[in-house]
Structures are given as structure tokens and as C-alpha cells.
Amino acid sequence: MIESESSGSRPRGQEPETTGRFIVVFADAEENAPGLLRSAAGMSHVADSRDFGTRAASPADTEGADATYYSHLGVAVVSADPQQQRALSSSSDEGTVISVSPELIHHVLTDEPGGASSSFQDSAQLTWGIQAVAADTSPFSGEGIRVAVLDTGFDSSHPDFAGRQITVESFVPGETAQDGHGHGTHCIGTSCGPRSPSEGPAYGVAYEAEIFAGKVLGDSGSGSDGGIIAGIDWAMANGCAVISMSLGADIPQVHPPYTAVGRRALDQGHLIIAAAGNGADRRQGDFGFVGAPANSPFIMAVGALDQHLEMAFFSARTLPIRGGQLDVAGPGFQVRSSWLMPDRYNTISGTSMATPHAAGVAALWAQASGYRGRELWSLMAQESQRLLQASVDVGSGLVMAPQE
């Protein structure tokens, strides 16, 4: 399962959590992956996302399948016995399969807020994060841009989103898209929330973007690779230029499926942005490391800043492997945003909170420039505000909204 970054750091140095299933990444040239699963591994029931069009291949649709193939990504989630696993692994020798990896469990990535005197601070009109990324002075709103937030779902009863174009889907077996945790509703609020909320300061960056809320983490705050990959495939099928994922597994290795998924998403014009992780405790000299999926070379990893634009104490540092670097940073400490009703709002901290700031800014740049995929990534990095911090902590700096 993958936990969202707002659930706190988990003990490090342990074996990664897995589900017992496997993620199979096929070679780019493999045109009949479902057929290969049937012939090489003897899987008789293979679900194919192409059969669902733009509609999600939900857990209910694929229940009982030996494998589910996601055509946009060239990736399958399979239930395989040892003999089938060996058959699929041997296909890598023939060049048809790139990798066969255990399916990981991910979690939300947040941390408890502490005290901080502010250089930026919430005002009656705007949260400090909106001010820091200069979204309040940008002439762009995200209009015409589709943003997918893959998280714990969305509270569709929230009054601040009445009348907004919001598409919801659940990829968690046995759960609807309704958010029972709060983390997803918070991240959606930061990335795409309103500028005229029912109470308090404005908190949304891309306030006119079209929202796609994919529930890939359950009400417990955890979810698996299979649900996340299904959510990414759904977001791509629906033309989402930006895909925001405030979740992660605390492992110091690149997880092969997300290398392929991130690259193929970029090649098709979709930018995936993910939280770096909350495994650090800088107060104790522990800098942590960027976990999966943010440590994919083709997924933009986001670190968290406090109101002084200093590193939040929990924000992970670059991992010294290919893909393990921090790419950009965003406001991630004591961030106010939407929450489950009746509470309506909540203030929490984490690289999970920095990520939707970056996703909202990406939507503004997508509107302003027309760029997608790799060009959008390059523009985001180029236009970031350089900080007096090491690049291993903040990458190219603080994400900044377009001003003209």
C-alpha cells in the first residue's frame, strides 16, 4: 500500500510492505501484452483497460481477473503463483518484459505541525502558501486544464466546491470515491480549491481547473500500486495534464514500475508530481531519503518548506541514486485547506501539502504556456525561485506561478 504523506513517517530500515501481487512492465514494442500473459503465464482471465474507454477500470470491474493490463502505461497488475512469476520473469530474457516487481503498499505523507514564527503567514484573504507561490497575483486560474489528484478521494458534500466540474472514481475495493480520511480533500483544496471560500482565506492555486479525484488510498490512508497505476491510467485516458500524488512508500530504491509509468506519462503529455516523503528529522541530523514513487527519474519530486522558506524538519533529502533527487519545493508546513464536513477546514503539514501547491502551479503554467509533459516539467524548474538551500533539499527551488 502507499500511504499519503500526511499520515506521518514510518519506521525505516524495515522490509517494504507488499500485497502478494506483482507489477509487470512490458517493453514499449510489446503490442499484445494480454496475449503474452495468457500464453506465457497461463492466465485465462486478463482484464484490459482499453475495453473501458475513458471509464475507469474499477476494482469491481476487474474482480476475479488474474491480471489487469493498463494500455496507456504498458503495465499489468497480476496475481501470480511462483511458476507464473518465473514464466513472466523469463520473458525478460526475450525482451518482452522489462521488470516484474512486488506490488508495494503506500501511505499518506503528513507530519504533525510544530511552532514557527512566520515570514509568510495566513491573512484574512489568503493562505501563506498561495502568497508564497504568487498564485494570488497570477492572471491565470487553471481554466481549461484537467488536474487529477490521486489520494483518499473527495468529500463531495463540501460547500466550497458547489458548482465545480469534478469527476470522481474509486480504485479501492469496497470503497466509494467519498473521502473518509480527509487527506485527499485537503490536497484537492490546495491544488484546485476556491478563491472565495465560505469561510476564511482563499486556499486554492488553480481555482478554475477541472478536478479529477481518484481514490487510490482507502479511508485508512493506505493503498497499493495496483490502485495507483489504475488511477494514473484513468487520468491519462481523461486527458489530465497534471497528476498529483501525495503518497509514498518509504523505500530507498527506485521501484521499477514507476520508472516506466512516469516516462510513458511524460511521453504522452502528462506530468506526474509526487511527494518526496516525510522520513527525515532534521532536528536530529536525520535527512531521510526520497521514497517511491517520487524517486522515479520521470516523476517530479516535491520537498516541503516552512513559512521562512526553510526546509520543513521532516522533508526528505535527495537519495544518491538516479531518480532519487528532489526536483522542486513548495509550501508544506501548517497548510490550511478543505477538510471533511462538518469540520470544513484543517491545518496540517507534510510533503503531501507541498505537492498540491506544485500541481496547482503546474496547471497555471499549462494554461499560460500550452506546454505539456517534459516541456511543462522544464518550464516549472526554470521558473522556480532559487533559494539559499542546498539543491539536494530543494531542487531548483520554490515553485512559482506565472505572472504574465
C-alpha torsion angle, residues 212, 226, 269, 247 (rounded to 10):
70
Q: Which three cell numbers stand for residue 260?
A: 516506466
Rounded to a whole number, what is the distance in angstroms from the first to the last CA of the chain? 41
Give the residue from 225, 227, 187 showing the smallest Cα distance to 204.
187
Radius of gyration of the chain measured on its C-alpha atoms = 20
Give the residue from 166, 212, 203 showing the smallest Cα distance to 344.
203
Residues in the chain: 404
d(CA 170, CA 157): 16
Give the residue from 379, 147, 373, 381 showing the smallest Cα distance to 266.
373
Pairing of strands 166-170, 18-26: unpaired
**Which 3 state secondary structure label does DSSP give 151?**
strand
Please give, one letter per residue, the 3-state secondary structure of 119-165. Answer: CCCCCCCECHHHHHCCHHHCCCCCCCCEEEEEECCECCCCHHHCCCC
For the question of residue 352 being annotated catalytic, the response is yes
Give 201's DSSP letter.
Answer: S
The single residue of 352, 384, 393, 396 carrying the catalytic annotation is 352
For the question of residue 151 being annotated catalytic, the response is yes
Q: Which three cell numbers stand for residue 93?
A: 530474457
For the question of residue 267 being annotated catalytic, the response is no
Query: Is residue 190 within 8 Å of residue 129, measured between CB atoms?
Result: yes
The single residue of 106, 183, 186, 357 carrying the catalytic annotation is 183
Q: Give the residues across from 385 on adjacent strands.
A: 398
The single residue of 151, 179, 225, 327 carrying the catalytic annotation is 151
Place of cell 494514473: 232
Catalytic machinery residues? 151, 183, 352
